[in-house]
């Protein structure tokens, strides 16, 4: 019996991976324009990191984390999200001593045990960015502008930026009390999950996608009506700066985030093209997280994009792997040795070259070159070696010309440059 992959953990095949590479390359380019530097953190962290940052009562910690004990009996977890590991690295490596402001981005796999469905998998990939050390609402507006810049640049138009404020530790308790009181009168209409968490994490009830819960919470109190003066002023500043730079947005009073560390500004990029999994990017401010994890009392804000969802939104954009600029067709053992060395030297000089490794007939080699969509084929047999002349075939026109093998590398490099 053959061994299959793990459910919800997918292979990314040639022809698909090129779209992923494009999305990653554009993130590096766009984020670099805004002063962000890449950081890479491990996929495994101490379980305590996520319990303290995400929150003990969140669905992620309660039900979705891949947690195990290693041979030293340490409790370890495959990272379910990227912000907490980046903050851990920031604190541990004392990055604040290098620069009081840190702009970091990351990309890579995350892991959550949940029911696989379109746009949601057990191993999924995120591209994210974090800004640490700036409290001013202008940085909120800038990171949101960068996010919309990225979506426009990769050609994804069916998205809308929605923003909200979740308040802070001073004003959120009053909102929680009002919301809990509202939900108590509607418990019978809520799903099992929401009845369980309406006291421990009532904000998540407002965000539940179950139709009955959405209807039952339709008249729920708005968090915006309970903001303190500081949070109200910060949220107004975010809106003002977004308008100043022409970044379109709407306010969604029902939007909350599932992680406990979020404060003040929260946001999502939503789409109508992915069904219930309508958020393709999300994030917010987490001004208390760094201190809670043992670091200095610095503010922070960030977001993450789901790469699988970005790929789905790009649609059927399967890209064929790049075609070789030259295929070397060798006939005979001596010619094969010659072309193998020639191929290696050309590749070191930056040319995409392929050849036959198995001594097949010329006809079979030309078929292989045609399948690979090679632009040119250099045919070299024993006679060509003896005469120091090769046959250069243009595949599109099926025409051939005789070329000298002396200084062949320079000739082929120039020829490829002219035909690109």
> pLDDT tens across 162-182, in order?
999 999 989 888 888 888 888
- Model confidence at 319, pLDDT cuts 50, 70, 90, reads low
Would you call 267 helix, strand, or coil by DSSP? Answer: strand
Would you call 129 helix, strand, or coil by DSSP? Answer: strand
**Side-by-side strand order, sheet with 66-69:** 44-46, 75-78, 66-69
- 317 pLDDT above the threshold of 80: no
Count the Cβ atoms, other than its own, within 10 Å of residue 391. 15
Report the pLDDT value the prediction gives residue 282, as an integer from 0 to 100.
94
For 375, which DSSP code?
S
Per-position b or e across 30-54, b if 16+ CB within 10 A of its CB:
bbeebebeebebeeebebebbbbbb
Q: Report d(CA 226, CA 221) in Å as an integer.
A: 9
Please state the pTM of the whole predicted model.
Answer: 0.84
Lowest mean pLDDT among 17-26, 170-179, 279-288: 170-179
Higher pLDDT, 273 or 386: 386
Count the Cβ atoms, other than its own, within 10 Å of residue 103. 22
Q: Report d(CA 159, CA 270) in Å as an integer.
A: 5
Select from 394, 344, 353, 347 the least CA-distant residue to 372: 353
- Model confidence at 275, pLDDT cuts 50, 70, 90, reads low
- Model confidence at 120, pLDDT cuts 50, 70, 90, reads confident
For 400, which DSSP code?
E
Report the pLDDT value the prediction gives residue 316, as an integer from 0 to 100.
62
Q: Report d(CA 84, CA 96) in Å as an integer.
A: 16
Count the Cβ atoms, other than its own, within 10 Å of residue 295. 19
> pLDDT tens across 340-395, in order?
999 999 999 999 999 999 889 999 999 999 999 999 999 999 999 999 999 999 99
Report the pLDDT value the prediction gives residue 57, as an integer from 0 to 100.
60
Query: What domains are there in the chain, each with its CATH number?
Result: 17-168+231-314 (3.30.930.10), 172-226 (no CATH), 326-414 (3.40.50.800)
Beta partners for 165? 265
Report the pLDDT value the prediction gives residue 150, as an integer from 0 to 100.
96
């Amino acid at each position: 019996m053959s061994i299959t992959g793990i459910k919800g953990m997918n292979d990314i095949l040639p022809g698909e991976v090129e779209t992923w590479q494009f999305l990653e390359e554009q993130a590096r380019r766009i984020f670099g324009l805004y002063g962000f530097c890449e950081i890479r953190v491990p996929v495994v962290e101490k379980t305590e990191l996520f319990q303290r940052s995400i929150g003990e009562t969140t669905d992620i910690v309660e039900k979705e984390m891949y947690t195990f004990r290693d041979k030293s009996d340490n409790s370890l977890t495959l990272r379910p999200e990227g912000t907490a590991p980046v903050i851990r690295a920031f604190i541990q490596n004392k990055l604040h001593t290098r620069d009081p402001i840190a702009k970091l981005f990351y990309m890579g796999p995350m892991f959550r045990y949940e029911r696989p469905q379109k746009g949601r998998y057990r191993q999924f990939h995120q591209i994210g960015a974090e800004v640490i050390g700036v409290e001013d609402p202008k940085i909120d507006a800038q990171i949101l502008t960068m996010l919309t810049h990225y979506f426009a640049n990769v050609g994804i138009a069916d998205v809308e930026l929605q923003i909200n404020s979740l308040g802070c530790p001073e004003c959120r308790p009053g909102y929680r009390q009002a919301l809990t009181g509202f939900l108590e009168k509607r418990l019978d209409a809520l799903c099992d999950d929401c009845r369980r968490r309406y006291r421990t994490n009532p904000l998540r009830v407002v965000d539940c996608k179950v139709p009955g819960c959405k209807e039952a919470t339709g008249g729920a109190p708005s968090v915006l009506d309970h903001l303190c003066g500081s949070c109200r002023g910060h949220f107004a500043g975010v809106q003002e700066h977004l308008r100043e730079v022409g970044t379109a947005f709407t306010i969604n009073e029902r939007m909350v985030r599932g992680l406990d560390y979020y404060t003040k500004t929260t946001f999502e990029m939503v789409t109508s093209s992915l069904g219930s999994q309508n958020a393709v990017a999300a994030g917010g401010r987490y001004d208390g997280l760094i201190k809670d994890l043992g670091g200095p009392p610095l503010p922070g804000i960030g977001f993450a994009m789901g790469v699988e969802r970005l790929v789905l939104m790009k649609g059927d954009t399967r890209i064929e792997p790049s075609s070789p600029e030259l295929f070397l067709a060798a006939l005979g053992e001596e010619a094969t040795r010659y072309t193998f060395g020639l191929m290696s030297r050309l590749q070191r000089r930056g040319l995409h070259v392929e050849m036959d490794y198995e001594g097949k007939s010329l006809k079979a080699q030309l078929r292989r070159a045609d399948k690979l969509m090679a632009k040119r084929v250099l045919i070299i047999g024993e006679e060509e070696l003896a005469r120091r002349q090769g046959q250069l075939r243009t595949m599109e026109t099926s025409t051939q010309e005789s070329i000298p093998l002396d200084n062949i590398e320079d000739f082929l490099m120039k020829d490829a440059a002219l035909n690109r």
